[in-house]
Structure 1
Amino acid sequence: MKQTIRFEYEAHYHLSQEPSYQEDEIWLVLHGYGQLAEFFVRKFKPFSTLERLFIAPEGTNYNYLEGFQGRVGANWMTKHERETAIANNHRLLDGLMDTILKNYPKQPTVHVLGFSQGAATATRWASRWEGKISTLVLWAGGFALDLNLEIARDAFSGTRLILALGEKDDIISQDNIVKQEELIASLGKPIRRLYYPSGHELDTALLQKIINRQI
């Protein structure tokens, strides 16, 4: 007989720098499958300033990337106990943002970027978060296919939506692209599609333009 217990859990996140709590904007950046927040946030450090803080939470599921030893990566969920993982992710991200934002005398603008698996996680959480999200970037990933479209339409009514895809990304299949286009059409929101010349990775030049609102 299966039972459930909820208990206090310790999770990790990494910052681009020590916050002053005077920053004008915050970027919540969610890593992909098999990555760690410590290394993911380094990709954003070149764009951190006194006015801009990057926050990289880490998925709470861990696994060895090869075999039974060596490098370890984190992920946001697997198919096993999927709904429980989604609920845990929501509590983690809600708690993290509450912890950070309560220190600001003036609320900063909040932007969200999800990479690969982190993109679907970002859309699920962002669509139900009570705060306002200025920009939502889905990089080498897309909207969660089980997204509640009615809730998402309202949540993203004032959000700049960006989809960034690599021209040589061999992980995203054509079937995935078709499903995303169908979902986007059902969502009924304008979305900016941007392409970069490499594969399943962050492209520094395009990332800089998005963060600095040059595109």
Structure 2
Amino acid sequence: MKKSIRFDYEAHYSLSHEPTFQEKEIWLVLHGYGQLAEFFLRKFGRFYSTDRLLIAPEGTNYTYLEGFQGRVGANWMTRHERETAIENNHRFLDSLLDSVLSGYVTPPPIHVLGFSQGAATAARWASRWKEEIRTLVLWAGGFALDLSLENTRTKFQNTTVILALGDRDEMITAESIQKQEELIVQLKKEVIRVSYSGGHELDSDVLEKIINHQL
């Protein structure tokens, strides 16, 4: 007989700086499979600013990247107990944003960027979060295919959606691109598509344009 129990759980995240609660915008950035939040956030170092708070939550599942020792990476879920992991991610991100935003008299605009596996996690969470997302960036990934079309269509009505993909990304297949295109048609959502010369990685020039709202 298999059962479940819910209990308090400690999760981790990294910040660009200690919040002053005077920031003009917040970027929530979700790492990909096998990465850690602390190191993922460093990729955004050139965009640190007193006016911009960057928050990098860390997936709560951990594994050794090679064998049974050495480097450890985090992930947002595996196929085992997938639905439970999704709900845990939602509660984690809800609690994190509620905690941070409680310090602001007037909450600043929220922008979300998800990389690789973090893209689907970001899209799932943003589509059901109680507040509005100003920008949603899905980088080297895409919308989760199990999203509620009606709810997502309504939720992202006023959200700028950006899809960023390298032209040599070995992790993205033609089939996955086709499925994303079909889903976007069903969502009836205009998206901004950005392509760059590179693989499964963040491109600094494209990232600068996105962070500085130049697209």
TM class, shorter-length: over 0.9
Distance in 1 of aligned mates of 2:130 and 2:40: 26
Distance in 1 of aligned mates of 2:29 and 2:122: 9
Aligned to 1:100: 100
1:42-81 to 2 correspondences below 5 Å: 42-81=42-81
Tell me, yes or no, if structure 1 residue 149 matches structure 2 residue 149: yes
Letter in 2 for 1:154: T
Q: Which aligned segments of 4 or more residues in structure 1 are displaced greater than 3 angstroms?
A: none
Aligned to 1:172: 172
Letter in 1 for 2:13: Y
Offset of residue 19 of structure 1 = 1.3
Letter in 2 for 1:87: E
CA-to-aligned-CA distance 1:103-134 (integer Å, 9 cap, x gap)? 01121110000000000000100000011100
Deviates more, 1:53-62 or 1:39-48: 39-48
Q: What SS class does the counterpart of residue 184 from structure 1 fall into?
A: helix
1:119-134 to 2 correspondences below 5 Å: 119-134=119-134
Aligned to 1:39: 39
Q: What SS class does the counterpart of residue 190 from structure 1 fall into?
A: coil
Offset of residue 93 of structure 1 = 0.2
CA-to-aligned-CA distance 1:125-144 (integer Å, 9 cap, x gap)? 00000111000000000000
Aligned to 2:160: 160
Aligned to 1:115: 115
Q: How many residue pairs get matched?
A: 215
Letter in 2 for 1:118: G
Letter in 1 for 2:136: L
Distance in 1 of aligned mates of 2:16 and 2:45: 6
Offset of residue 17 of structure 1 = 1.3
Scaled by the length of structure 1, what TM-score is found? 0.99
Distance in 2 of aligned mates of 1:2 and 1:170: 39
Aligned to 2:193: 193
CA-to-aligned-CA distance 1:4-55 (integer Å, 9 cap, x gap)? 1001000000001121110010000000000000000111121121110100
Distance in 1 of aligned mates of 2:114 and 2:213: 17
Distance in 1 of aligned mates of 2:68 and 2:79: 20
Distance in 1 of aligned mates of 2:41 and 2:128: 24
Structure 2 unpaired stretches of 5+: none
The percentage of aligned residue pairs carrying the same residue is: 67
Aligned to 2:212: 212
Distance in 2 of aligned mates of 1:8 and 1:53: 26
